[in-house]
């Protein structure tokens, strides 16, 4: 399978701290790659570096064969890459509707797509005209994901989408991500919820101390409790 995104020898410093020490992995086109690792391993920094929000000072990031390492964030977004940060990038003073209007950059909503989002994240329909700042944490998370998928994207970078979500909404998110990855998009998802990771991941890259320590298929990783113990501290079956 060809790689839609590939990182080679990526090093990122934040101020005087060396955070990424030569990150290397591929995200195959189509399907979902899970980026796992202990707290502080460098997962968020990796997503931010791909998006140009931190600058890689060494190495190379290629998207669809093009070197994007030195591009500015808006130019990276224009190539069809969307990023949902852990801190939920939504506008609290604007309504749910206005948040989605701003995210739909190419014009009016595709009603079929909006209905598909409403079917999975019903609260967004219910609170359509409410300022987003009034939503619960989980509902804000739904809105942040909805903003990223309101238009078709080639690659979605999503940081901990299930954080603070009730199990029923996690099930809807699994369904939405499964449909996206089987259809138009490739996904790279940081996740701590191992049930979600195992359910959805086709591939996995596991970070440890600013590097990728393991990458491969999710099925093999999910079956290897010794490797999980070594890289994550706990087996995936122990986290539910
Ligand atoms: N703005 C910053 N200034 C200094 N150090 C930072 C900054 N942001 C992150 N770091 C450090 O970089 C390292 C990697 O952080 P990062 O957020 O990428 O890890 P993570 O794997 O996403 O962790 P978590 O699972 O806890 O979110 C950590 O040691 C963190 O303290």
212 C-alpha to center of ligand 1: Å?
15
Q: What is the mean pLDDT of residues 114-140?
A: 92
Cα 214 to middle of ligand 1, angstroms: 19
Q: Are strands 81-84 and 155-159 parallel, antiparallel or unpaired?
A: parallel
Determine how many CB atoms are found less than 10 A away from the CB of residue 111: 8
**Fold (CATH) for 29-56+71-80+153-240:** Rossmann fold (3.40.50)
The stretch 43-51 carries a mean pLDDT of 97
Domain ranges within the chain, ordered by starting residue: 29-56+71-80+153-240, 92-151
The pLDDT value recorded for residue 239 is 53
- Give the residue, by CA position, lying nearest to ligand 1 atom 29: 40
What pTM, to 2 d.p., does this model score?
0.92
In ligand 1, the atom with minimum distance to the C-alpha of 86 is 27
Count of residues in the chain: 240
Q: Is the pLDDT reported for residue 240 higher than 70?
A: no
Specify the pLDDT at position 175.
87
Across the range 115-131, mean pLDDT stands at: 93
Mean pLDDT of 184-195: 90
Chain segment 90-101, per-residue pLDDT in tens:
999 999 999 999
**ipTM of the assembly?**
0.95
Quote the ligand 1 centre to 26 CA distance (angstroms): 22
Angle at 26 between CA 22 and CA 29, to 5 degrees: 155
Report CA 162 to chain centroid distance, whole Å: 11
Question: Bigger pLDDT: 105 or 32?
Answer: 32
Tokens of 225: 């409790």
Instruction: Give the span between the Cα atoms of 146 and 85, in whole angstroms.
Output: 13
């Amino acid at each position: 399978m060809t790689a839609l995104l590939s990182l080679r020898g990526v090093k990122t410093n934040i101020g005087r701290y060396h955070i990424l020490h030569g990150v290397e992995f591929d995200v195959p086109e189509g399907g979902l790659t899970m980026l796992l690792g202990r707290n502080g391993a460098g997962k968020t920094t990796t997503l931010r570096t791909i998006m140009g929000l931190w600058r890689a000072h060494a190495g190379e990031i290629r998207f669809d064969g093009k070197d994007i390492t030195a591009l500015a964030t808006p130019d990276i977004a224009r190539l069809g890459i969307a990023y949902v940060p852990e801190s939920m990038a939504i506008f609290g003073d604007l309504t749910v509707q206005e948040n989605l209007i701003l995210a739909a950059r190419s014009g009016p909503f595709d009603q079929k797509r909006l209905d598909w989002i409403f079917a999975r994240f019903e609260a967004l329909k219910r609170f359509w005209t409410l300022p987003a700042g009034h939503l619960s944490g989980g509902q804000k998370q739904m809105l942040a994901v909805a903003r990223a998928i309101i238009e078709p994207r080639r690659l979605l970078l999503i940081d901990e989408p299930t954080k603070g979500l009730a199990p029923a909404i996690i099930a809807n998110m699994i369904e939405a991500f499964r449909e996206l990855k089987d259809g138009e998009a490739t996904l790279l998802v940081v996740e701590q919820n191992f049930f979600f990771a195992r359910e959805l991941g086709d591939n996995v890259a596991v970070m440890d101390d600013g590097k990728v320590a393991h990458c491969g298929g999710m099925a093999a990783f999910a079956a290897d409790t010794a490797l999980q113990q070594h890289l994550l501290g706990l087996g995936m079956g122990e986290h539910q």
